[in-house]
Amino acid sequence: MGSKRFRNKLKETFSRKRIIKFLDKQGFYIVLFICICIISVTTFWASRGNLGDLPKQLGLGQQSEDHQLSDEFPDELPEDIEIEVQDVITSDEGEVEQDIGGQKQEEQQAEKQQAEERQEDKRHKEAYAQPSSKVAMAAQGKTVKQEEVQQQQQLKLEPASLVMPVAGRVIKEFAMDKLIYCNTLEQWTTHPGIDIKAEQGAQVKAAADGRVAEVGEDGKLGIYILIDHGGGVRTRYANLSTKNMVSKGEEVKKNQIISGVGKTANFEISDAPHLHFELIHNDVPIDPTPYLAGLN
């Protein structure tokens, strides 16, 4: 009874009508799937057969393949081959490298400038601190012949024949035969003139009639004026405020205003405002104190 019912249900499920209806609805996809499977299997087997016969068809053996590979990749490269590698930089990379290069160049320039300034400062200190041979001898306890000193200091100037170039008192004396302490250089040095304390901007006057020999500026004296009075006698005025009041070759008169007191002398920058004044005879600095009238 049960088997009969099962057969009837199976016959009902797989009845001709149901099969025809299923094939009518899904038949196209079934046929397409079968075709794809057939084509895939055929292609697979055909490919295997062709690959296996390819060396024989071409007439190439293993030796030919090895020969071809050895031709393409030689064991050693010729020494005369030149390989040129060209870097390609994108615009962004180029801008970054340019910025880095510019920054490095600026740093190098700043370091170079600082080194030059340090070297220049050292040279100025050495030049100013370096005593003459005679002063060095005196500093070492050796004497200088009195005849040579008298010969150097023979001037055709009467005592108190020079006017004070600026009103004030001497704060640093002449010292070429001994050493005095320099606050700026922080060492013992010679001093080829006198420093006369005065307010910054105070008028500086010519000590005597003469002709302007030099007007300039350097790292030690700052702005300076050199006047030639004839007979080998010259006066130097340094640490000035301006060099525009007189010019080289100009004739000046005693008491004529030639500049003002400044603060331009680097080797005396730590001192109070003053005029650095020198008296020179035959290129040798001498003490101007006895020749200045009204010196305080």
Instruction: Tell me the range of 72-86, 142-156, 194-208 where mean pLDDT is highest.
Output: 194-208
Alpha-carbon gap, residue 235 to 151, rounded angstroms: 19
pLDDT value of position 11: 67
Burial class (CB in 10 A: 0-12, 13-18, 19+), 118: exposed
Comparing 44 with 279, the larger pLDDT belongs to 279
Burial class (CB in 10 A: 0-12, 13-18, 19+), 282: middle
Its pTM stands at 0.51
Rounded to whole angstroms, the maximal C-alpha distance in the chain is 165
pLDDT value of position 94: 54
pLDDT value of position 26: 74
Read off the pLDDT of residues 20-45 as tens digits, 9 standing for 90 and up. Answer: 777 777 777 888 888 899 998 888 87
pLDDT value of position 16: 72
pLDDT value of position 82: 54
CATH 2.70.70.10 domain range(s) in the chain:
133-291
Domain 133-291 in CATH: superfamily? Glucose Permease (Domain IIA) (2.70.70.10)
pLDDT confidence tier of residue 18, bands split at 50, 70 and 90: confident
Q: Is the pLDDT of residue 265 over 60?
A: yes
Comparing 1 with 245, the larger pLDDT belongs to 245
The rounded mean pLDDT for the chain is 77
Contact (CB, 8 A) for 277 and 288? yes
Read off the pLDDT of residues 74-122 as tens digits, 9 standing for 90 and up. Answer: 555 555 555 454 444 454 555 555 566 667 777 888 888 778 777 766 6
pLDDT value of position 293: 92
